[in-house]
Structure 1
Amino acid sequence: MHLSWLYRNVALEFGFEEFHLYLRPLQFECTDQKVRVQQRPFCITEILEDDSCVDRLIPSHLPLSIQELDENQIRFSFSSEEAVIHLMNRQSIKNLQVALACQVTQKNALTSAVKLARLCLWAESDSSSAEREDKDVTCNSGSGSHTGGLQEQYKSFHSKPSTGTSTKKRVMGAFVSIQLEKVGLCDEMLNSFVKKKQAVGGS
């Protein structure tokens, strides 16, 4: 839960919304084959122009990762001794292993996304500080000729277009949408399930 909180904060800091953390749960038994598997954008900044590929679902609670893949079939509870005993069979243990593997994968994805984002923000901040220091040194060294210094600053400013927007986009490009990373793989898994189901039904 703490990692999810960190990810939400990073998303907001980068100018994105919380829904990038979530993937809409599927009921494979009731879902048709996807004609076209959704591909994630080459770069996250592509969705700044058109975000129609993003699902804006924000659930009321933080679900387990397995619920994104199988909302109804895998159920377990540790609320009582009887519920725990009910899990002590081969199929239930197998389901628990699958749920744990999904949760570990989610944890690793969130950890990587948060670390990458914080590293890029730190690098950009460090780079900006270094540029400011260089400018201060240049201005101080040219203080003997005030007019010449102003002319050099004017030429420097107008010879390079403002990099504020490009810098912001470059930093935003380091953001990882957990939803968009998962959705294409989920579509492929769904299609594989539907094909196997059709093969069994046709045999």
Structure 2
Amino acid sequence: MTHSRLLFTMMNNPIRAWSQRLLETPLLIGPRGALAGQRVLEIGCGRGVGVEILLGLGARHVVGLDLDPQMISLAQKRLGSMADQTEVFVGDAQAIDAPDGAFDVVVGYGVIHHIPDWRAALKEVGRVLRSGGRYYFEEWLRGFTSARAIRALFGQPQVAVFSGQEFRSGLESSGLRVSVWREWGELGVVGCADK
């Protein structure tokens, strides 16, 4: 999927990395040590900032996938010194190249709304999580993604436009039980779901 230059710049700059490290991750997952010893998958890993952060939370091994080969190339460069604990590859969240139950944790930093068949992606998350595993998510909802000003500013296609209830239903139909749900009207949601 091609995004506008503005959206690309916003997602790949030091301010976004700072936000992901100091605001989003503590709210979404918790403090250092929260993922101690876990095998983690990040869907939509981009240039590898999230993979690096997740490793810093104590994960034993972090795998990142992204549809964009350019992002994977940047991630490989960023994570080069951590190659024994990380793996990044070009991949599609609608068909994750991993066996059933391969991960203790899956993380999505606002990626599902970029995926055409978002329900298939959630089913894949449920498939690759082990029994007792956890999926951490943050997502923009219909009130944000379909706003005319947002579309005009970013030129972002409306790939997946869903309400909070539709997203929650998608999680549940994928075998995931919502355990934390923080929704801001119809703008966005953060939380986690357990298998």
Whichever of the two has the greater Rg, that structure is 1
TM range (shorter): under 0.3
Relative contact order (alpha carbons < 8 A, sep ≥ 6): 1 or 2 greater?
1
TM-score, normalising length: structure 1: 0.24
TM-score, normalising length: structure 2: 0.25
